[in-house]
Chain A
Amino acid sequence: GQQLNQSPQSMFIQEGEDVSMNCTSSSIFNTWLWYKQDPGEGPVLLIALYKAGELTSNGRLTAQFGITRKDSFLNISASIPSDVGIYFCAAPTFNAGGTSYGKLTFGQGTILTVHP
Protein backbone atom coordinates (compact mmCIF):
# COMPACT_ATOMS: atom_id res chain seq x y z
CA GLY A 1 0.00 0.00 0.00
CA GLN A 2 0.95 3.66 -0.09
CA GLN A 3 3.22 4.55 2.83
CA LEU A 4 5.01 7.71 3.87
CA ASN A 5 8.40 7.42 5.55
CA GLN A 6 9.08 10.46 7.67
CA SER A 7 12.43 11.33 9.21
CA PRO A 8 13.86 12.04 11.62
CA GLN A 9 11.63 10.47 14.27
CA SER A 10 12.67 13.09 16.81
CA MET A 11 14.82 16.18 17.06
CA PHE A 12 16.28 18.03 20.04
CA ILE A 13 17.48 21.49 19.11
CA GLN A 14 18.42 24.79 20.67
CA GLU A 15 16.22 27.83 20.26
CA GLY A 16 17.29 29.78 17.19
CA GLU A 17 18.46 26.77 15.21
CA ASP A 18 16.99 25.77 11.86
CA VAL A 19 15.13 22.47 11.48
CA SER A 20 14.67 20.21 8.49
CA MET A 21 12.49 17.11 8.17
CA ASN A 22 11.40 15.10 5.18
CA CYS A 23 8.95 12.57 3.91
CA THR A 24 9.51 9.99 1.19
CA SER A 25 7.42 7.37 -0.53
CA SER A 26 7.71 4.75 -3.24
CA SER A 27 4.37 6.02 -4.59
CA ILE A 28 3.60 9.20 -6.49
CA PHE A 29 1.34 11.76 -4.85
CA ASN A 30 -0.42 14.80 -6.31
CA THR A 31 -0.61 16.71 -3.05
CA TRP A 32 1.58 16.96 0.03
CA LEU A 33 0.36 18.38 3.32
CA TRP A 34 2.24 19.28 6.48
CA TYR A 35 0.47 19.36 9.84
CA LYS A 36 1.56 20.19 13.39
CA GLN A 37 -0.03 18.56 16.43
CA ASP A 38 0.33 20.02 19.93
CA PRO A 39 -0.34 17.84 23.00
CA GLY A 40 -4.05 17.30 23.57
CA GLU A 41 -5.04 18.93 20.31
CA GLY A 42 -5.77 17.91 16.75
CA PRO A 43 -3.38 18.39 13.83
CA VAL A 44 -3.29 21.89 12.39
CA LEU A 45 -2.59 22.37 8.68
CA LEU A 46 0.65 24.30 8.15
CA ILE A 47 1.28 24.12 4.41
CA ALA A 48 -0.40 22.48 1.40
CA LEU A 49 1.56 21.72 -1.79
CA TYR A 50 -0.18 20.92 -5.07
CA LYS A 51 2.48 20.99 -7.79
CA ALA A 52 5.75 19.12 -8.29
CA GLY A 53 8.67 21.46 -7.57
CA GLU A 54 6.46 23.91 -5.68
CA LEU A 55 8.14 25.80 -2.84
CA THR A 56 5.76 27.43 -0.36
CA SER A 57 6.38 29.47 2.77
CA ASN A 58 4.25 30.21 5.80
CA GLY A 59 6.16 32.59 8.07
CA ARG A 60 9.28 30.79 9.26
CA LEU A 61 8.13 27.54 7.65
CA THR A 62 9.06 26.51 4.12
CA ALA A 63 7.97 23.32 2.39
CA GLN A 64 8.75 21.85 -1.01
CA PHE A 65 6.97 19.29 -3.20
CA GLY A 66 9.69 17.05 -4.63
CA ILE A 67 10.17 17.06 -8.39
CA THR A 68 9.69 13.28 -8.55
CA ARG A 69 6.36 13.68 -6.63
CA LYS A 70 7.60 11.02 -4.22
CA ASP A 71 8.95 13.28 -1.49
CA SER A 72 8.55 16.54 0.38
CA PHE A 73 10.48 18.44 3.01
CA LEU A 74 9.66 21.00 5.68
CA ASN A 75 12.12 23.55 7.02
CA ILE A 76 11.64 25.70 10.11
CA SER A 77 14.00 28.64 10.44
CA ALA A 78 15.09 30.27 13.69
CA SER A 79 13.14 27.89 15.92
CA ILE A 80 11.33 29.18 19.00
CA PRO A 81 9.93 27.29 22.02
CA SER A 82 6.36 27.28 20.65
CA ASP A 83 7.57 25.23 17.67
CA VAL A 84 7.56 22.23 20.03
CA GLY A 85 5.16 19.52 18.89
CA ILE A 86 4.74 16.65 16.46
CA TYR A 87 4.99 17.40 12.75
CA PHE A 88 3.26 15.10 10.26
CA CYS A 89 3.46 14.88 6.53
CA ALA A 90 0.33 13.60 4.83
CA ALA A 91 -0.93 12.93 1.33
CA PRO A 92 -4.40 12.20 -0.05
CA THR A 93 -4.78 8.91 -1.90
CA PHE A 94 -6.39 8.38 -5.28
CA ASN A 95 -6.96 5.34 -7.44
CA ALA A 96 -5.42 4.93 -10.88
CA GLY A 97 -8.37 6.70 -12.44
CA GLY A 98 -7.92 9.75 -10.23
CA THR A 99 -10.92 9.10 -7.97
CA SER A 100 -10.30 10.09 -4.36
CA TYR A 101 -10.29 7.48 -1.61
CA GLY A 102 -10.94 10.31 0.86
CA LYS A 103 -8.23 9.16 3.22
CA LEU A 104 -5.04 10.92 4.10
CA THR A 105 -1.98 8.73 4.49
CA PHE A 106 0.22 10.07 7.28
CA GLY A 107 3.91 9.79 8.02
CA GLN A 108 4.97 8.54 11.44
CA GLY A 109 5.62 12.06 12.68
CA THR A 110 8.68 14.02 13.82
CA ILE A 111 8.73 14.98 17.50
CA LEU A 112 10.41 18.38 17.85
CA THR A 113 11.83 19.57 21.17
CA VAL A 114 13.27 23.08 21.42
CA HIS A 115 15.53 23.96 24.34
CA PRO A 116 15.46 27.65 25.33
Chain B
Amino acid sequence: EAGVTQSPTHLIKTRGQQATLRCSPISGHTSVYWYQQALGLGLQFLLWYDEGEERNRGNFPPRFSGRQFPNYSSELNVNALELEDSALYLCASSFQDRFNQPQHFGDGTRLSIL
Protein backbone atom coordinates (compact mmCIF):
# COMPACT_ATOMS: atom_id res chain seq x y z
CA GLU B 1 0.00 0.00 0.00
CA ALA B 2 1.40 3.37 -1.01
CA GLY B 3 2.04 5.85 1.75
CA VAL B 4 1.43 9.58 1.72
CA THR B 5 3.15 11.09 -1.31
CA GLN B 6 4.20 14.71 -1.64
CA SER B 7 5.51 16.71 -4.56
CA PRO B 8 7.79 18.31 -5.38
CA THR B 9 10.56 17.05 -3.10
CA HIS B 10 12.35 20.37 -3.24
CA LEU B 11 11.16 23.81 -4.29
CA ILE B 12 13.25 26.94 -4.61
CA LYS B 13 11.52 30.31 -4.80
CA THR B 14 12.36 33.97 -4.26
CA ARG B 15 10.72 36.44 -1.93
CA GLY B 16 7.28 37.57 -3.06
CA GLN B 17 6.64 34.55 -5.27
CA GLN B 18 3.92 31.98 -4.75
CA ALA B 19 4.44 28.27 -4.03
CA THR B 20 2.11 25.31 -4.52
CA LEU B 21 2.77 22.03 -2.72
CA ARG B 22 0.84 18.83 -3.40
CA CYS B 23 -0.13 15.82 -1.32
CA SER B 24 -1.80 12.49 -2.06
CA PRO B 25 -3.13 10.69 1.03
CA ILE B 26 -3.06 6.99 1.77
CA SER B 27 -5.87 5.22 -0.06
CA GLY B 28 -9.03 5.28 2.07
CA HIS B 29 -7.94 8.26 4.15
CA THR B 30 -10.23 11.28 3.91
CA SER B 31 -8.46 13.68 6.28
CA VAL B 32 -5.35 15.59 5.22
CA TYR B 33 -3.20 17.72 7.49
CA TRP B 34 -0.37 20.15 6.75
CA TYR B 35 2.50 20.96 9.12
CA GLN B 36 5.50 23.27 8.90
CA GLN B 37 8.84 22.12 10.30
CA ALA B 38 11.33 24.98 10.33
CA LEU B 39 14.99 24.23 11.03
CA GLY B 40 15.57 23.63 14.70
CA LEU B 41 11.89 23.83 15.50
CA GLY B 42 9.22 21.24 16.02
CA LEU B 43 6.25 20.53 13.84
CA GLN B 44 3.69 23.33 13.74
CA PHE B 45 0.12 22.60 12.64
CA LEU B 46 -1.01 24.54 9.56
CA LEU B 47 -4.28 23.19 8.17
CA TRP B 48 -6.72 20.30 8.38
CA TYR B 49 -9.00 19.25 5.51
CA ASP B 50 -11.68 16.61 5.70
CA GLU B 51 -14.24 15.71 3.03
CA GLY B 52 -13.21 18.72 0.97
CA GLU B 53 -13.73 21.25 3.75
CA GLU B 54 -11.21 23.22 5.81
CA ARG B 55 -11.88 22.08 9.38
CA ASN B 56 -9.20 23.94 11.31
CA ARG B 57 -6.14 26.10 10.76
CA GLY B 58 -3.16 26.88 12.93
CA ASN B 59 -1.69 30.23 13.89
CA PHE B 60 -0.45 31.18 10.42
CA PRO B 61 -1.27 34.23 8.28
CA PRO B 62 -3.95 34.03 5.56
CA ARG B 63 -1.32 33.85 2.81
CA PHE B 64 -1.10 30.17 3.80
CA SER B 65 -4.11 28.49 2.24
CA GLY B 66 -5.06 25.26 0.59
CA ARG B 67 -7.78 23.01 -0.64
CA GLN B 68 -8.79 19.40 -0.82
CA PHE B 69 -10.01 17.82 -4.02
CA PRO B 70 -12.81 15.24 -4.50
CA ASN B 71 -10.20 12.45 -4.63
CA TYR B 72 -8.97 13.67 -1.17
CA SER B 73 -5.63 14.91 -2.48
CA SER B 74 -4.66 18.36 -1.30
CA GLU B 75 -2.71 21.47 -2.21
CA LEU B 76 -1.01 23.94 0.06
CA ASN B 77 -0.52 27.42 -1.39
CA VAL B 78 1.78 30.00 0.11
CA ASN B 79 1.53 33.51 -1.34
CA ALA B 80 3.92 36.45 -1.02
CA LEU B 81 6.74 34.19 0.14
CA GLU B 82 8.99 35.47 2.91
CA LEU B 83 12.45 34.27 3.92
CA GLU B 84 11.08 32.75 7.14
CA ASP B 85 8.80 30.49 5.11
CA SER B 86 11.84 28.33 4.36
CA ALA B 87 11.01 25.00 5.97
CA LEU B 88 10.05 21.39 5.44
CA TYR B 89 6.30 21.17 4.76
CA LEU B 90 4.83 17.87 5.82
CA CYS B 91 1.50 16.42 4.81
CA ALA B 92 -0.23 13.72 6.84
CA SER B 93 -3.40 11.73 6.34
CA SER B 94 -5.75 9.65 8.42
CA PHE B 95 -9.12 8.02 8.34
CA GLN B 96 -11.91 10.41 9.27
CA ASP B 97 -10.57 12.25 12.26
CA ARG B 98 -13.56 11.98 14.55
CA PHE B 99 -12.52 8.37 15.14
CA ASN B 100 -9.17 9.50 16.63
CA GLN B 101 -7.10 7.76 13.98
CA PRO B 102 -3.32 8.32 14.00
CA GLN B 103 -1.84 10.53 11.33
CA HIS B 104 0.66 9.13 8.83
CA PHE B 105 3.18 11.47 7.26
CA GLY B 106 4.78 11.88 3.86
CA ASP B 107 8.44 12.79 3.40
CA GLY B 108 7.70 16.45 2.88
CA THR B 109 8.53 19.25 0.47
CA ARG B 110 11.64 21.26 1.29
CA LEU B 111 10.81 24.89 0.43
CA SER B 112 13.76 27.24 0.19
CA ILE B 113 13.26 30.98 -0.20
CA LEU B 114 16.18 32.94 -1.65
Contact = CB atoms under 8 A, between A and B. Distances in A.
Interface of A: 30-31, 33, 35, 40-45, 48, 50, 88, 90, 92, 99-109
The DSSP consensus for interface residues of chain A is strand
Given A31-B100, A42-B90, A103 B105 contact: no
B56 A45 contact: no
Given A102-B56, A104-B103, 11 more contacts: A31-B102, A33-B103, A35-B105, A40-B107, A41-B107, A45-B104, A102-B31, A103-B33, A104-B92, A108-B42, A109-B42
B50 interface: yes
A38 to B, nearest CB: 10
B108 A42 contact: yes
13 contacts: A41-B108, A42-B108, A43-B90, A100-B98, A102-B33, A102-B50, A104-B33, A104-B45, A104-B92, A104-B103, A105-B45, A106-B42, A107-B42
A7 to B, nearest CB: 14
Interface in B19-63: 31, 33, 35, 42-43, 45, 48, 50, 55-56, 58
